[in-house]
Each structure stands twice: as structure tokens, then as C-alpha cells.
Amino acid sequence: MSALSSIPIRVQSMSHGTANCGNAVPILHEVRHALERLIATGEGTQIDLNAIPFGPEDEAHLLAVLGVGEVRATIDALGPTHVQETAIPGVWLIDYRITEDQRLALHLDIGDIPEILRTQRQDLDTALTTLDARLTSAKDRAQFEY
Amino acid sequence: MTAKKHSVGEHLRDQGVSRRAFLKFCTASASLLALSPGLIPALAAALEQARRPSVIWLSFQECTGCTESLTRSHAPTVEDLILEMISLDYHHTLQAAAGEAAEAAREQAMKDNFGQYLLIVDGSLPGPDANPGYSTIAGVSNYAMLMEAVEGAAAVIAVGTCAAFGGLPEAAPNPTGAVAVMDLIKDKPLVNVSGCPPVPMVITGVLAHYLAFGRLPELDEYHRPLAFFGQSIHDRCYRRPFYDKGLFAETFDDEGARAGWCLYRLGCKGPSTYNACATMRWNSGTSWPIEAGHPCLGCSEPRFWDAGSFYAPLSVPTGLSSNQVLTAGAAGVLVGGTVATLARRTVETAAVSRQPVTADELEQTL
């Protein structure tokens, strides 16, 4: 066999919908219930999409329905975490990845703002120390340059 | 080498891991453990205070596939798992030391952490009545080494179908007299993480559970963690709706196979197999056998090597003919879960009397 192109592979289109068993639709209804709860009580909800037995087309269908909203952020901690507000306000998509860009988890977060975007209290404890060290360093450098 | 005594949280902070990164790790662990994302704060609090356990890993009659599986785990990365979350004090394949130095490290770790270390075993071993010469390490029989190591273990984790149920070495005619770890260990907490190999994240998930809660997870009748083995492949399969509609692939290249229909008639053991492949998948969550178009082999179940052809449809429940079951499936009136339960029981019974498939029989099936 001289080339890969000589292997008679036929790529089958999956667009006839048989591979998509429709698991995205119940999740979208769960999102709707979570939104109602958020509006009524302020209580947020997280949905772990990794735990759902999605077919090959389910995730794409779900994301297509939710769309893309105004806010997009990337957190650089143990690899990138991509946070995206969907076109439905209050519904966030959080894609946790490791440094090799492989997915760790995929969550839908229904709330005002995902917790991972907030400054963490434990990190805040070291904020003054870090700033003071930098101020001292900057002061030393200024004296040296002067 | 002794397990460091400070907590996982302290250790991670010492390594410069930020709180957000720690929360991300907890998110991955919660996903592994099939916990609700709402429990992530509680999990973070538990992991924060957890102590790093000493782990001793013994490899007996095995192919190293289980270790290969673990080292391809992406959640958490094996580097995180081994270097940060546990103190892996002995593992033939992964440790740098060899020979007497390796054995001395094992003995020292057992002495320093007596009563507290986790013992992980992969591979079956010749039983107490078998010839011990079939499998030895440093001149010590597998049986003697296991019995010595288990004495000071807090818990035992049997990784892979060989360790859990005997696996390939125990398959007929079982020339080495192989037995499973649970055949020998009766007085210690024991969890079986079966699979050939096991889903890598299940191995790390059990360790994460032990770290977070200080005990082994809830188990099924075969000592497998319910969080991962609580539902059948069939129940979680994305092709299940096709089974319910009676839409089956009849060959590997027919219209039904191309359309992604149910693989039951091609020998899929999903109805009688309990594992997490359908949700956790393989190769960093890329796919899994059924999504790739191949029937489930049932590799996480006892005696799966001796259960006949991988490509013959499952045994039919007693009292129902093959046609009755398939007709009912075609009509969509027979609840799959009932078939799964009955089929599982029948497979277990039938497995004892079955003979291994020959190459000629396999050719005829295909």
C-alpha cells in the first residue's frame, strides 16, 4: 500500500441525527429550573456535564442552544480554565483544563458569577505581604537609579 | 521514605499552589467521585485537612496494564497524585531504586507507617496451595509478600480484574493456581477496582475518596466502589435508546453499525457489566469502546475471560428464548434493566460450564 489515501475509507456523515440520542434536551430543562431558582431565591446551581452520558453530538447541541454571551475570562491555575457566560444571562460555561489542554471537567454554573472568578480569601491573606515586598523592591530600585 | 505528616492543603500551599488551583483540583476530584458540584466546598475542606498516606504498591501476576492505565490518568495528573497527594514508597515499575535497595524501601515504609499505609495490589497470585515458584519477587513468593504487607495495612485496594477476581491467570485451566486478593484477605477493608485495565480515573478517584474522607467508599457485592460501578454500562450507554427501540447493528459494517445502533447482537456485554466507561471514557475522555463501534467485553466482571466468545450475544434469561427476547426488544416493550439483571445472573451461572472460544468459532461468528 503506497499511501494512506489508497485506503478506501468512507467518512460517514453523522448529520442524520441518529447518533444524537437527545440527552442535551433534559439538561437544558434542568438549566431552566436552575434559572427559575436563581431568580426566585438567589440560589446557584452547578451541573457537571462529565457525569452525563452524552452522545457524540449532545455537547455541541447543548452549547449551540446556550450560545455565547458577553463575558469571557481565562484563569491560569493548574492549566487554563475558560469561563464563558452564555447568551443566557446567569448561565456560565466553565471548562477546566490541564496544561496539556486536556479537559478535567466541564461545568454549567447557574449564578451571578462563578466562584472561581472571585478573589479567594486565602489568597487575599497574602496580598499585603506580597504588595509590601514589591513596594520595598521598587523603592530600592528607585534609590539605586536616583 | 516516610509519609510527610502535614496536611495536603499545607503541602500544596508550600508548593505555591494558589487557592483557585486547589479549588480546581477539588472540582476535578468531585467530578471523579461522581459527587454533586455543590459538595465541592465540603470536599475542599476535607482535602485541606487530609494527611498524605504512605502507599505500597505490589505487582504480582499482571501485565503492567493497570500501571499503564494509571500513568495515563489526567484527572488529577499522575504527577499530582503521586508526588503531592500520596507518598508512593514502593512500586516496582515507577520507583528509581532496584534490587535490595527497593526491597529495603518497602520494609522501611511498612515499619514506619505500620497500621496506616495503603496497600495497592495489581495482579493475581498463586494461592497458598499452589507452587510458589510460579511468581516470586526478590526470591519471596507473592503469597508470603502479600501476607507480610497486609499485616500493617490500613486498607487494601486490588487494582485490575486480575487482582480483584483472578483475571487472565485464573482463567481455565489456571495453570498457576491463581487466586484473587479477596480470596486471601478477610480481615482488612478491601476495595476492588476491576477492569482490564481499570478506568484510570477510577483508581485515582478511590484514592481521592480515601484522602478526603479517611475511609474507603461504599462498595457493591463484589467490593467495587458504587460511585463508579453502581450502574451497568447498558444503563449509562448513549446507544441505550436504540436498544429500547429494537434497533441493532447485525454486523460491524452494516447500516445499523454506521448509524450507531445498539451493539447487543454483536456480543455487547454492557447489560451485565458494571463500570464507569460510559461517562468517564478513555484516552483523556476522548471516547470509549462502544462509541468506537465495538461491543463491551465485560472486562470488569468476574470470570469474563471464560464467559465464551466476546462476539456472541449475551446469554438469554432462563425461560425466555432468544427470539422472545429479541422480539421484545424490537417491540420496545421489554425493560432493558430487567434483561440486564437476568442476563447478568445467567452469565455468572453459565460462565462455569463454558469453554473458551476457538479461532475457527470466532471466524464463523464474524
Q: Kindly write down the DSSP assignment for every residue of A47-90, as one continuous string.
A: EEGGGS---TTHHHHHHHHH---S-EEEEESSSEEEEEE-SSTT
Of A127-131, B38-42, B189-193, B246-250, minimum mean pLDDT range:
B38-42
Q: H or E element: which one contains A109?
A: strand A103-110
To probe the interface with A, which of B19, B36, B288 has the most A CB atoms within 10 Å?
A: B19
CA-based nearest distance A133→chain B, Å: 17
SS3 A102: coil
pLDDT digit string, tens, across residues B15-50: 777 888 888 888 887 877 778 888 888 888 888 788
Element (H or E) spanning A96, and its range?
strand A91-97
Question: Which residues neighbour A72 within 8 Å (Cβ) at sequence distance 6 or greater?
Answer: A82, A83, A84, A85
Residue B95 cell numbers, joined? 520507583
pLDDT recorded at residue A105:
86
Phi, psi angles (nearest 5°) of residue B336: -60, -35
Check residue B329 and give its pLDDT.
39
Chain A residues with CB under 8 Å of B77 CB are 98
Split at pLDDT 50, 70, 90, the class of B152 is: very high
**Each residue of B309-327: pLDDT tens digit?**
899 988 543 333 333 334 4
Partner residue facing A105 (CB), from B28, B36, B259? B28
Contact B52, B10 (CB under 8 A): no
| Chain B residues with CB-CB distance to A19 below 8 A | 259-260
Chain A interface residues (partner B, CB cutoff 8 A): 12, 14, 16, 18-19, 21-23, 45-48, 50-56, 58, 75, 77-78, 81, 96, 98, 100, 102-105, 107, 115-116, 120-123
DSSP state of B145: H
pLDDT at B146 over 90: yes
On the question of pLDDT at B336 being above 50, the answer is no
Residues of chain B positioned with their CB less than 8 A from the CB of A121: 19
Is B23 an 8 Å CB contact of chain A?
A: yes
- Of the candidates A21, A48, A77, the beta carbon closest to that of B24 is on A77
Domain limits for position A50 = 12-119
Q: Would A73 be classed as within a structural domain?
A: yes
Residue ranges in chain B assigned as alpha helix (H): 8-14, 19-32, 40-49, 65-70, 78-79, 99-112, 142-151, 161-165, 167-170, 200-213, 226-229, 233-236, 240-244, 255-258, 277-280, 322-331, 336-351, 359-365
Can you tell me the mean pLDDT for B7-13? 73
* Residue at grid coordinates 520494609: B107
> Which of residues B320 and B112 earns the better pLDDT score?
B112
Residue of chain A nearest B290, judged by CA positions: A55
Confidence of residue B149 (pLDDT cuts 50, 70, 90): very high
B24·A23 Cβ contact <8 A: no
How far apart CA B177 and CA B180 sit, in angstroms, is 10
Residue from B324, B329, B337, B333 nearest B246 by CA: B329
Query: Mean of the pLDDT values across residues A87-104?
Result: 87
Query: Residue A113's domain is classified under what CATH number?
Result: 3.30.1370.140
Residue B293: pLDDT above 90? yes
User: Between A and B, how many CB-CB pairs are < 8 A?
Assistant: 96
Alpha-carbon gap: B227 to the closest alpha carbon of chain A (Å): 11
ipTM of the complex, rounded to two decimals: 0.75
CA distance A59 to A108: 12
Amino acid at B198: P
- Three-state SS for B99-125 is HHHHHHHHHHHHHHCCCCEEEEEECEE
In the block, which residue shows the cell 529495603? Answer: B104
Mean of pLDDT over chain A = 84
- Residue A97: pLDDT band (50, 70, 90) is confident
Q: Mention the CATH class of domain B233-365.
A: few secondary structures
Q: Which three cell numbers stand for residue B146?
A: 502479600
B292 touches chain A (CB under 8 A): no
Q: Which of B37, B239, B279 sits opposite A107 (nearest CB)?
A: B37
> Among the residues of B152-254, which ranges form H helices?
161-165, 167-170, 200-213, 226-229, 233-236, 240-244
Please state the length of chain A: 146
Domain B8-228: CATH architecture, name and number where available: 3-Layer(aba) Sandwich (3.40)
> Residue B55: is its pLDDT beyond 80?
yes
Per the CB < 8 A criterion, the answer to whether B295 and B311 are in contact is yes
What does the alpha-carbon distance between residue B118 and residue A95 come to, in Å, rounded to a whole number?
Answer: 33
Worst-scoring range by mean pLDDT, B175-179, B206-210, B359-363? B359-363
pLDDT in tens, B231-273: 999 998 989 989 999 999 999 999 999 999 999 999 999 999 9
pLDDT digits (tens, 9 = 90+) for A60-91: 899 999 999 999 999 988 789 999 999 999 99
The predicted pLDDT at position A31 comes to 96
Gap from A144 CA to chain B (nearest CA, Å): 30
pLDDT band at B73 (very low <50, low <70, confident <90, very high): low
CA distance B260 to chain A (A): 6
> In this predicted structure, what is the pLDDT of residue B28?
80
Instruction: Please give the pLDDT value at position B69.
Output: 80
Domain boundaries of chain B, sorted by first residue: 8-228, 233-365
In contact, B204 and A20? CB cutoff 8 Å: no
The answer to whether A73 and A117 have CB atoms below 8 angstroms apart is: yes
Is A146 among the domain residues?
A: no
From the CA of B176, how many Å to the nearest CA of chain A? Answer: 40
Report d(CA A112, CA A39) in Å as an integer: 10
**Which among A46, A78, A122 has the least Cβ separation from residue B25?**
A78
* Better-predicted residue by pLDDT, B188 or A3: B188
| Neighbouring residues of B335: CB distance < 8 A, sequence distance ≥ 6 | none
Domains held by chain A: number: 1
Give residue B349's pLDDT.
54
pTM above 0.80, yes or no: no
Instruction: Copy the grid coordinates of residue B285.
Output: 475522555
Helices B322-331 and B336-351 pack at an angle, to 10 degrees, of: 160
**A50 vs B24, B31, B242: nearest CB:** B31
The answer to whether residue A1 is domain-embedded is no
The answer to whether residue A42 scores a pLDDT higher than 90 is yes
In whole angstroms, what is the distance from residue B105 CA to residue B2 CA? 10
Cβ–Cβ of B261/A18 closer than 8 Å? yes
